A and B are shown apart, each in its own frame.
Chain A
């Protein structure tokens, strides 16, 4: 599950605005606006985000409508549904994850130069980069 020091947005809770945290964040509820954390972001399989997301690391199993910028590793679980662009250092995509947007892998978020750019729609093959 999650450790006791994490900020938790549990099921049944809605957040509107710019949600910023310096520690780990676990989201199981709804968020509209922006999500930023300097640590690990975990988006649970019941979570719905209409937000631009910035994190150091992220594991996504829910729905994200917005751009995902991850400094290090992004993991998309089989139940993940992403509508938006992704920029990350490395990515792991489980079979079944749905992705609609531009993916830039191997780039630091501040680095505009993309080493790899993939246009995908409803990706379903397991892959790791």
Chain B
């Protein structure tokens, strides 16, 4: 019996009827694995931070988020401060974060919880908020100051990402290391349009490792942090090494070219500015 050490946070999307069957499968799998704990639901006017804080003070050691990548985003910005181990059960795919963490979608994710392979991972921090994956923007006028030594900018259209965890899904793309104590600044140029009869040559990415960067723009720009948007003209981004204990799947330890991983990885375009970030507080 593992009661008491786990708590589950259900996102409000879980109450959607279309997830009813999957949720039942998850709950029965958890019961089979004897993983039990208090269930709390996120709601629009309930502070997710206070919810987790109350769990932590009542002795909960592992907080499991049930929902999708947006659900994880609602709690990830403060979780490293709580001193809890974090698990994730993605209710439905595609889930970019789940695939990066080697967690299968649906009831199969319960087995990952049961295996309890825990990794202590780095977390990115933008101003006073933590992020798991990356910060990205596409404004050509913005620059990234690398540790106060030099600045990089894109001379054309493209995306600049400051990455803790993630990869661009190119054939030979390397995944950012979540345990190296460094951020990876990646500039991905916009793909050239195919001309008649001519194959488009892939434009290589710019990749630079850094511990801290500043994003500076002459005018306010919109940037994406994990799955939410922020607006401003100056952001400080740094890495907090070994900041979070995360339950990950065995698939994470496979090389990115492994067919087992590829089957779960789909290109997922994050919706920009999907929520007002203030609503998370």
Which A residues form the contact surface with B (CB < 8 A)?
A: 1, 4, 7-20, 28-30, 33
Contact = CB atoms under 8 A, between A and B. Distances in A.
Contacts of A17: 146, 149-151
Contacts of A11: 189, 203-204
B53 interface: no
Given A4-B174, A7-B209, A30-B155, A12 B203 contact: yes
B205 interface: yes
B203 A8 contact: no
A13 B155 contact: yes
B161 to A, nearest CB: 13
A14 B152 contact: yes
Interface string B198-218: 000001111111000000000
A7 B174 CA distance: 13
B204 A28 contact: yes
A19 B149 CA distance: 7
A10 B189 contact: yes
Given A13-B153, A13-B154, A17-B150, 7 more contacts: A7-B207, A10-B203, A11-B203, A14-B153, A20-B149, A29-B155, A30-B155
B133 to A, nearest CB: 20
28 contacts: A1-B204, A9-B208, A10-B204, A10-B205, A10-B206, A11-B189, A11-B203, A11-B204, A12-B154, A12-B156, A12-B203, A13-B152, A13-B154, A13-B155, A13-B189, A14-B152, A14-B153, A15-B152, A16-B150, A16-B151, A16-B153, A17-B150, A17-B151, A18-B149, A19-B149, A19-B150, A20-B149, A30-B155
